[in-house]
Structure 1
Amino acid sequence: MELQGITIDFYDKRTCGLLPDLCLKWDIRYDEIEDNEELIQYWEESLNRVLSKTDKVVSGNMDGKSILYSADEDAINIIKEEFKELELNKINYEDIIKCENCLKNDYLEK
């Protein structure tokens, strides 16, 4: 099964190229991107807004990246709305099984 959503890599400096406004105060010469408070706040606030509207998502950490995906069309639209600066990606559900510390909803099992 294919899911759609977003991935933010807090260890890849190219993430600031996707969200440049969140990196204005961040100094690439001295700080690691995972220490960028604006980027962390953006992720947490946007994730909380999505979760306040739907629980039909899979979210967590996978291979050092923060993920938020769903197969539910309404949930995908909510993700798209809350993370409008980012382009949606596709991932196979089988790949999400590797997710560490995921908030999982078994809506896919129903």
Structure 2
Amino acid sequence: MTSKNHTISKIVAKAILRIVMIILIIGIAYSFSKDANLLKNISLYFPHKWAIFAPISLFIVFIILMLMMLREKYKRTDFNWLFALAGGFLVIYLMMLFSRIYPLL
């Protein structure tokens, strides 16, 4: 029998995985759409080279945790919660990024 915490962590991890994948698929689909030529005129400005390090490292941590979690098939509660935390931060970052790019179109 599994504990209630394990069941909740499994549900949250699966939900975060689906939300992040949907957001990424929507972003990729938009970049291949007819309006993609509008994105060529936009230049994202990062004031320092370290400003791009945090989102890239967050995405790499998200991918590593996702692979570890899927290899264990959601059996490890700690991997589930760590993945959910990283995924939550990634969702917030992607929403802020898209909200910053969208008004420029």
Q: Which has the higher helix share?
A: 2
TM over 0.5: no
Structure with the greater alpha carbon radius of gyration: 2
Q: Which has the higher strand share?
A: 1
- Give TM-score, length-normalised by structure 2: 0.30
Q: Say which structure, 1 or 2, has more relative contact order (CA 8 Å, 6+ apart).
A: 2
- Give TM-score, length-normalised by structure 1: 0.29
